[in-house]
Structure 1
Amino acid sequence: MSRPVLLHSDTLLSYSFGPDHPMGPDRVRLALELADYLGIMELFDICVPLPQHRAQVRRIHDPDYLEALGQLVPHPRYGWGTEDNPLAAGIHEVALDIAAASTTAAQLVWEGQCTRAVNIAGGLHHAQRNGISGFCMLNDAASAIDWLLEHGAQRVAYLDVDAHHGDGVEQMFWDDPRVLTISVHESGLYLFPGTGFAGDIGGPQALGTAVNVALEKNISDQEWLRAVHGIIPPLLQRFRPQIIISQHGADPHRADPLTHMELSVNAMEMTARSVRRWADRYAQGRWVALGGGGYQRDSVARTWASLLAAVAGVVIDMATPMPAGWDSVVHRHGVVPTSTTLGDSWADLSGIDPTEVIGGQRCQAMVATSKAVFPYWGIAAYHG
């Protein structure tokens, strides 16, 4: 395979937590429909998850927890059967396939069958070693990273730009110097899971390899882009990853019902293109992109269609009109469309050059993170 690969199968969409639950497979379905309308899907080879990779989760999750998940009865100890994580027929099998899909993507890229792969059904970054957390049952990103380490990788970078802290992935590799985890998120002072502060920098054998940018509420495109581009590239340059795995939750968007950020689809699209550029510059082009959070169906579809374009290596005009009938499509999911175009008309990214560290006033979170982590890498910290 020389073209980018999309990991997908109908089984990844065969679950439901109920009509009122924010998490649902329609998020992925709508994104793929929009990408198809934009002509992006034809740029990908489609690959189904390799079934043998379902077993990879045994290396990162406790056996008792995995056994309990296979039983459709409440398990309060593991968070299974709660309002956030309700009992759902077949969800255990779907979770195994999502983890297998991300691990398959990692294998395809690592073994050179393609340089870029994407699983937008993945990015379930809250799942813990011994429990469900934040709608996440099995940690597909951690499964993919573990497979890479098992097969010879010595430097894996995990980038997480979801509105929520990527706590599950961070904790699983907290004391492993082979894995650099960078999470840019809304501060845990305001948002689940309440973790991921600047001083959280990794275990004693891996100090400086856990990086957390805990942003204030209502952060703007410009502030967010400055933090992302000011923290991530200097660390990648020093770490020299052999592969990048990134999680692209769409919930930093202004319209998301569960978060308090003010981002546009345009800013998240710009960041996706930056991650591709960083993969080319620092990781021999090797990049696995995952989905994640995001609960306003219209903005999620637009964000992930833009992510697919970035993985495919094409730039789609953000002023491209949405397809005819899109209003009716998203209305069926109880959502009011937030834009008539792929991007947000209110977004103004003029004058921002993502190929450089963005100048201007640096936010407090960016400064705090640089002071906590940069010294371990021989990088000068920022000042406000």
Structure 2
Amino acid sequence: MMNEAGFIFSPEQLKYKFSEHHPFNQKRLILTIDLLEKVNALDTNTILPARMATDSELLLIHDEDYIRAVKDASAGKTTASFATKYGIGTEDTPVFPDMHEAAAWLVGGTLSAVDLVFEHGFKHALNLGGGLHHGFRGKASGFCVYNDSSIAIEYMRRKYQARVLYIDTDAHHGDGVQWAFYDDPEVCTISLHESGRFLFPGTGSVNERGTGDGYGYSFNVPLEAFTEDNSFLYAYEKIFREVTKFFKPDVIITQNGADAHCFDPLTHLCGTTKMFFEIPKLAHELAHEYCDGRWIAVGGGGYDIWRVVPRAWSALWLEMTEQTSILKEPIPESWISRWQSESKETLPTSWYDEDSICPVIPRRNEIKRKNERTLQSALKSIKERRRK
């Protein structure tokens, strides 16, 4: 019910803005919140504030010299080596004023979500400003300065002694989170993503299974380009159920990138909004089955900010709060009319896409078969662990 879930947002999260033309656009948050308000699923009184993460919290994952470099860049103090050494000032992750503070607010939003679940009686919590899964300990990457999910996981490990399952359905591999816990048997990571043969960051093969004591606790399902809903959801449900049963987490954290959609300009998958309505259902179910309901969700990628992201992310909140009957109703005309002229797109009138949204896809059955073989390979380490 409504009092079981907390929605985290503060206006400071909107300041994470590289430029007017950069694909990572936090206008997505405004559009999503407005859509939820228009369907009476959220109001300003139920939105809970984020906070700015402290330096000591950032240091749970990031190196001290890297944080210092981000602060220097935020103040306009950069050198030519910043791009190569720290990943700051690249085309993907350019410098912008007050970058450190803006990124720390996104991290603080995810930490606020964690505390809602572990300290304040909430079953679920959502921070759509989070999900920056490419950030590394000492380097920015792929639009991500600080890695809020990795920091939140380490925060849960230390403060609440939690055994954490992280699952990432962004079209891009959740590399930063995976590598942060690659040798840790108390953190299990799953990533379903477009194969690195076609898409940044080029990692996330089925053979990346962890190392040392963490071997067998990293799972990757690299999907073929042009993968559609049914193939994606089959792999998602199969690996999520199997791994959760195997790992038995105390809490589930989901990264909910919306860039596996057919309309997304940066990827090559062929999902529809139906896929994004199904993804949180299973997370909700498994959180109650294994974790006493403890489910923390963050945003992530998603670059069709007008037609796709508001619907996908709204559906995530509607699932958390058991208001999915709203998906049977039309998109409110008041929302469409507010954003139509600014969007320069024909905004959808329905939550669901038409079945014919994806173009004719060659080798459709071959893609499904390849994804099935990849899934079976990804699950091998569970069998290896059970034999031990």
TM-score by length of 1: 0.90
Q: Is the 8 A contact 1:184 1:228 kept in 2?
A: yes
Within 5 A, what are the aligned runs for 1:178-327?
178-297=186-305, 298-324=307-333, 326-327=335-336
Q: Is the 8 A contact 2:53 2:104 kept in 1?
A: no
**Which aligned runs of 4 or more in structure 1 are off by greater than 6 angstroms?**
none
Within 5 A, what are the aligned runs for 1:163-182?
163-182=171-190
Query: What letter is aligned with 2:127?
Result: N
Question: What is the DSSP-based 3-state SS (H/G/I as helix, E as strand, rest coil) of the residue aligned with 2:244?
Answer: helix
**Residues 1:365 and 2:374 aligned together:** yes
CA distance in 1, matches of 2:166, 2:242: 14
**Residues 1:159 and 2:167 aligned together:** yes
Aligned residue in 1 for 2:154: 146
Structure 1 position 316, deviation (Å): 3.4
Question: What is the DSSP-based 3-state SS (H/G/I as helix, E as strand, rest coil) of the residue aligned with 1:257?
Answer: coil
Aligned residue in 1 for 2:23: 22
Structure 1 stretch 276-285 or stretch 103-112: which is displaced more?
Answer: 103-112
Structure 1 position 48, deviation (Å): 1.6
Identity of aligned residues (%): 34
Q: Is the 8 A contact 1:35 1:41 kept in 2?
A: yes
Question: What is the DSSP-based 3-state SS (H/G/I as helix, E as strand, rest coil) of the residue aligned with 2:89?
Answer: coil
Deviations 1:339-366 (A, max 9, x none): 3211212279xxxxxxxxxxx9662221
Question: What is the DSSP-based 3-state SS (H/G/I as helix, E as strand, rest coil) of the residue aligned with 1:41?
Answer: coil
Question: What is the DSSP-based 3-state SS (H/G/I as helix, E as strand, rest coil) of the residue aligned with 2:238?
Answer: helix
Pair 1:274–1:107, CA change in 2 (3 A)? same
CA distance in 1, matches of 2:52, 2:292: 28
Deviations 1:242-273 (A, max 9, x none): 00110000000110000000101111111111
Query: What letter is aligned with 2:318?
Result: A
Aligned residue in 2 for 1:13: 14
TM-score by length of 2: 0.89
Deviations 1:284-318 (A, max 9, x none): 10000000000001201110011111121221343
Pair 1:347–1:54, CA change in 2 (3 A)? farther
CA distance in 2, matches of 1:275, 1:195: 24
CA distance in 1, matches of 2:297, 2:16: 22
Structure 1 position 54, deviation (Å): 5.5
Q: 1:340 aligns with which of 319, 342, 349?
A: 349
CA distance in 2, matches of 1:200, 1:363: 18
Structure 1 position 59, deviation (Å): 1.7
Structure 1 stretch 336-345 or stretch 261-270: which is displaced more?
Answer: 336-345
Query: What letter is aligned with 2:49?
Result: V
Query: What letter is aligned with 1:295?
Result: Y
Aligned residue in 1 for 2:127: 119
Q: Is the 8 A contact 1:225 1:271 kept in 2?
A: yes
**Residues 1:61 and 2:62 aligned together:** yes
Aligned residue in 2 for 1:357: none
Q: Is the 8 A contact 2:246 2:382 kept in 1?
A: no
Q: 2:87 aligns with which of 79, 94, 97?
A: 79
Query: What letter is aligned with 2:301?
Result: G
Q: Is the 8 A contact 2:118 2:160 kept in 1?
A: no
Structure 1 position 47, deviation (Å): 2.0
CA distance in 2, matches of 1:105, 1:329: 30
Question: What is the DSSP-based 3-state SS (H/G/I as helix, E as strand, rest coil) of the residue aligned with 1:205?
Answer: helix
Query: What letter is aligned with 2:34?
Result: E
Deviations 1:145-201 (A, max 9, x none): 111111132410001000000000111111000000000110111000000010100
Pair 1:226–1:239, CA change in 2 (3 A)? same
Q: Is the 8 A contact 1:201 1:211 kept in 2?
A: yes
CA distance in 2, matches of 1:230, 1:281: 16
CA distance in 2, matches of 1:49, 1:80: 25
CA RMSD of aligned residues (A): 2.2
Question: What is the DSSP-based 3-state SS (H/G/I as helix, E as strand, rest coil) of the residue aligned with 2:352?
Answer: coil
Aligned residue in 2 for 1:49: 50
CA distance in 1, matches of 2:44, 2:253: 21
Deviations 1:109-138 (A, max 9, x none): 122521100000100000011111000000
Structure 1 stretch 75-84 or stretch 138-147: which is displaced more?
Answer: 75-84
Flag the structure with higher helix content. Answer: 2
Question: What is the DSSP-based 3-state SS (H/G/I as helix, E as strand, rest coil) of the residue aligned with 1:305?
Answer: helix
Unaligned 5+ runs, structure 1: 349-359, 380-384
Question: What is the DSSP-based 3-state SS (H/G/I as helix, E as strand, rest coil) of the residue aligned with 1:378?
Answer: helix
Q: Is the 8 A contact 1:4 1:43 kept in 2?
A: no
